[in-house]
Amino acid sequence: MLFVCTGNSARSPIAEALLRHHTAEGVTVTSAGSRPKTHLHPNTVRVLGDQFGIDITGLQPRHLDTLAGRRFDHVMTLCDKARETCPEFPHHPRRTHWSIPDPAPARATDRATYPAFQRDAADIETRIRHLLPVLTSTND
Pair 93, 73: CB distance under 8 Å: yes
Residue 93, class by beta-carbon neighbours within 10 Å (0-12 exposed, 13-18 middle, 19+ buried)?
middle
At residue 81, the pLDDT reads 85
Query: Residues with catalytic annotation?
Result: 5, 79, 86
CA distance 39 to 26: 26
Over residues 44-63, the mean pLDDT reads 95
pLDDT digits (tens, 9 = 90+) for 87-137: 777 788 889 999 999 998 767 778 888 999 999 999 999 999 999 887 776
Cα atoms in the 13 Å half-sphere on the side-chain side of 121: 25
Domain-by-domain residue ranges, the chain?
2-131
Closest C-alpha among 89, 85, 36 to residue 62 = 36
Name the CATH superfamily, with its identifier, for domain 2-131.
Answer: Response regulator (3.40.50.2300)
CA distance 29 to 75: 10
Average confidence score pLDDT of the chain? 89
- Beta bridge partners of residue 126, listed in sequence order: none
pTM for the complete prediction? 0.91
Exposure letters 58-86 (e unless 16+ CB within 10 A, then b)? ebebbebeebeeeebbbbbbbbebbbeeb
pLDDT digits (tens, 9 = 90+) for 26-49: 788 999 999 999 999 999 999 999
Residue 6, class by beta-carbon neighbours within 10 Å (0-12 exposed, 13-18 middle, 19+ buried)?
buried
